[in-house]
């Protein structure tokens, strides 16, 4: 996902990484000054080993970006499952419940909507009790505020209420087992999201990439100035900035639940679930989420 600013103005990519671009410009300029005007031709480096090093860095950087994208895509698949499982759970609750339990069934679905908003908030490091969507739907008691995992507590309350219906003879065991499997799917989705959020790519990997790109930016122009002259300066910026941008793309994709512009639009997905489920209950729908002024869904 990319903002309209980047789509309409590629120069914004350079401004995004202007410090690195300036460093690459400086190393290229230094190499040209030393070899051309000052005549230190002994500083010229052979092109073949530098090319091999560049190829190795490219593979290294691309591997990190691919791993980060896999994490982003896995997060999106998990929330795709959340949407479908939420729709199925809503249908199960509303259709399996006896007519006299309709209001209780709607309460269970409403609690699930609160669960979805809670998971969104926790993945983004926000407090559900300060979130407008959760405050419309979710419980706010000392028990809930003191919980170490509010989403787990809400699922536990769902299962407790379903078991009570079963014990009272108003929900047969087969239907309870089916709904229990759906609740387990929610727990698996939550666990998958928490695993991605709580297990970043080792920081040493990113540090090594940055150091290698910096070293490459220093020595690359010394292999190009003899053949390219001053053109080696912008060429050094272009090559090294390409590596840097790919590396940065991997860094920002590493956490798919961030509030950065290319994070998953969790608010949009959560509201979509709420709108779908409230429509099944015949309730007034909340407004759909619209993109911000940069065209980004949050």
- The string of pLDDT tens digits covering residues 129-153 is 999 999 988 999 999 999 999 999 9
CB 249 within 8 A of CB 66: no
Q: Would the pTM of this model clear 0.75, i.e. be above it?
A: yes
Confidence at 295, pLDDT banded by 50, 70, 90: very low
**Contact residues for 224 (Cβ-Cβ < 8 A; gap 6+):** 31, 47, 232, 235, 236
- The string of pLDDT tens digits covering residues 263-278 is 899 999 999 999 999 9
CB 183 within 8 A of CB 108: no
Query: What mean pLDDT do residues 61-67 have?
Result: 89
Domain segments of the chain as ranges: 13-280
Average pLDDT, the chain: 89
CB 228 within 8 A of CB 65: no
- The string of pLDDT tens digits covering residues 81-134 is 999 999 999 999 999 998 899 999 999 999 999 999 999 999 999 999 999 999
CA distances from 104 to 58, 75, 164, 210, 242 (A): 58, 32, 12, 56, 57
Q: Tokens for 93, please give them.
A: 């609750």
3-state secondary structure the chain: CCCHHHHHCCHHHHHHCHHHHHHHHHHHHHHHHHHCCCCCHHHCCCHHHHHHHHHHHHHHHHHHHHHHHHHHHHHHHHHHHHHHHHHHHHHHHHHHCCHHHHHHHHHHHHHHHHHHHHHHHHHCCCCHHHCHHHHHHCCCCHHHHHCCCHHHHHHHHHHHHHHHHHHCCCCCHHHHHHHHHHHHHHHHHHHHHHHHHHCCCCHHHHHHHHHHHHHHHHHHHHHCHHHHHHHHHHHHHHHHHHHHHHHHHHHHHCCCCCCCCCCCCHHHHHHHHHHHHHHHCCCCCCCCCCCCCCCCCC
Confidence at 11, pLDDT banded by 50, 70, 90: low
Residue 228 reports pLDDT greater than 70: yes
Query: What mean pLDDT do residues 8-24 have?
Result: 76
CA angle 108, 278, 73 (to 5 degrees): 90
> In the prediction, which pLDDT does 130 show?
94
């Amino acid at each position: 996902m990319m903002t309209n600013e980047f789509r309409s103005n590629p120069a914004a990519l350079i401004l995004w990484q202007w410090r690195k671009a300036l460093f690459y410009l400086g190393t290229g300029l230094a190499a040209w000054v030393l070899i051309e005007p000052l005549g230190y031709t002994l500083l010229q480096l052979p092109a073949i080993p530098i090319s091999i090093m560049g190829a190795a860095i490219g593979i290294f950087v691309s591997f990190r970006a691919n791993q980060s994208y896999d994490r982003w895509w896995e997060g999106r698949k998990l929330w795709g499952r959340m949407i479908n499982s939420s729709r199925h759970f809503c249908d199960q609750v509303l259709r399996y419940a006896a007519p006299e339990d309709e209001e209780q069934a709607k309460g269970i679905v409403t609690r699930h909507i609160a669960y979805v908003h809670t998971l969104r908030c926790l993945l983004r490091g926000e407090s559900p009790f300060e979130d407008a969507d959760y405050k419309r739907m979710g419980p706010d008691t000392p028990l809930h505020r003191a919980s170490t995992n509010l989403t787990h507590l809400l699922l536990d309350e769902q299962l407790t209420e379903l078991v009570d219906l079963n014990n009272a003879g108003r929900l047969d065991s087969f239907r309870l087992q089916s709904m229990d499997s759906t609740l387990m799917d929610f727990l698996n989705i939550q666990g998958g999201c928490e695993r991605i959020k709580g297990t970043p790519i080792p920081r040493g990997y990113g540090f090594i990439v940055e150091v290698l790109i910096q070293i490459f930016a220093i020595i690359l122009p010394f292999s190009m100035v003899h053949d390219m002259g001053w053109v080696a300066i912008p060429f050094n910026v272009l090559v090294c900035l390409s590596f840097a941008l790919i590396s940065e793309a991997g860094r920002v994709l590493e956490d798919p639940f961030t509030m950065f512009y290319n994070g998953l639009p969790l608010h949009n997905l959560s509201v979509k679930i709420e709108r779908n489920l409230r429509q099944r209950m015949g309730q007034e729908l909340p407004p759909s989420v619209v993109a911000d002024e940069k065209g980004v869904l949050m």
